Amino acid sequence: MATTKKSPPPADDPALVAAFEARIAAGESIEPKDWMPERYRKQLTRMMAQHAHSEIVGMLPEGNWITRAPSLRRKLSLIAKVQDEAGHGLYIYCGTETLGVERDELVAQLHDGTAKYSSIFNYPTLSWADMGVIGWFVDGAAIVNQTVLAKASYGPYARAMVRICKEENFHKRQGYEICATLAKGTPSQRAMLQDAIDRFWWPSLMMFGPSDKDSPNSAELLKWRVKRKTNDELRQRFVNLTVPQAQAIGVTLPDPDLTYNPETKNWDFGEIDWDEFWQVVGGNGPCNKERLAARNAAHDEGAWVREAALAHAAKQRRGTEAA
């Protein structure tokens, strides 16, 4: 859990809390210099930091395929996508800084394994079809989640989501287009696609977090309008949107219980393997250790860049002072 740099204000004054909650109820945006309950600051820092880490670690599974993209066109769009994810991470880290947290502190928590990031990035990318399916499912799930976060009560986070969602839309389209192409391909291309779908479907549903009854943070986040929909509501929306997309390209989602419910107008789906989810969240997924090792190695290898940048900044400062 991230700690804040500033010392907290005196225990939250009930009158201030009431005024804050009235602003939230009126749909106002909370800005960095506004008074906010310490718990609101903590919850936002936690959630935004996890989100930023997810964007950064999320580069690894796809980065794995840049050198093996099947054409120049595919390589260009994959590089652009991975680069966008880096930008999203940096953008959200800037957002956490507006809450009074040092980025270095958050990055250190990622590197020492104490911070969380999205479970989905702890699964391996075994074939080119995984690039398509990640764009379609993972970015698709991110859009469902983040379109709602674009209306979150904290201004810097909400504004970051607006821009990020625009880019995620491009990512989803490039992924779905890869899938649509493979779906029209040879039998082995179709088999490769179906295999990727089979591996990524359930982990993508897990991206939305535990079911509402097991989500300790949801009540507070919903009360303060950081979240505007529950984990289960967003998961259901993702399923409802994705089933027709799968039908359109003639692939099968690996859930025998997937059935349309005319009463609720939802696609009912089977039980998620929550044991697997908690194992992955707890650091024991297929690639958790590999991901952390890769992030730590990248950070260590970049030490000279940070040193050079700091030395350059110090030289500039000395020059300005001397002038």
| Encoded amino acid at 4, one letter | T
Interface with ligand BYC (CB under 6 A), residue from 119, 153, 204, 242: 119
Q: Pattern of binders to ligand BYC over 3-22, x per CB under 6 A?
A: --------------------
Closest residue to ligand BYC using C-beta atoms: 58
156 vs 209, beta carbon nearer ligand BYC: 209
Tokens representing 120? 């989905």
| Encoded amino acid at 134, one letter | I
Q: Which of residues 63-92 bind ligand BYC (CB under 6 A)?
A: 85
Spatial distance between the Cα atoms of 259 and 263, rounded to a whole number of angstroms: 12
Cβ at position 207, least distance to ligand BYC in Å: 5
Interface with ligand BYC (CB under 6 A), residue from 140, 175, 210, 285: 210
Would you count residue 46 as binding ligand BYC (CB under 6 A)? yes
Would you count residue 215 as binding ligand BYC (CB under 6 A)? yes
30 vs 206, beta carbon nearer ligand BYC: 206
127 vs 204, beta carbon nearer ligand BYC: 204
Interface with ligand BYC (CB under 6 A), residue from 44, 207, 243, 251: 207
Q: How far is CA 207 from CA 84, 107, 145, 297, in A?
A: 20, 21, 9, 26
Which among 25, 265, 273, 63 is positioned nearest to 153, based on CA atoms? 25
Q: Which of residues 130-189 bind ligand BYC (CB under 6 A)?
A: 138-139, 142, 145
What 3-state DSSP class applies to 255?
coil
CA 240 to chain centre: 20
DSSP state of 30: B
Q: Which of residues 237-276 bind ligand BYC (CB under 6 A)?
A: none
Spatial distance between the Cα atoms of 205 and 149, rounded to a whole number of angstroms: 18
Spatial distance between the Cα atoms of 95 and 309, rounded to a whole number of angstroms: 22
Cβ neighbours of residue 258 closer than 8 Å, sequence gap 6 or more: 239, 243, 267, 268, 269, 270
Spatial distance between the Cα atoms of 50 and 12, rounded to a whole number of angstroms: 25
> Which of these ranges, 180-188, 205-213, 257-265, 287-295, lies near ligand BYC under the rule CB under 6 A?
205-213
Cβ at position 213, least distance to ligand BYC in Å: 10
Interface with ligand BYC by CB under 6 A: which residues? 46-47, 50-51, 54-55, 58, 85, 116, 118-119, 138-139, 142, 145, 206-210, 215-218, 221, 231, 281
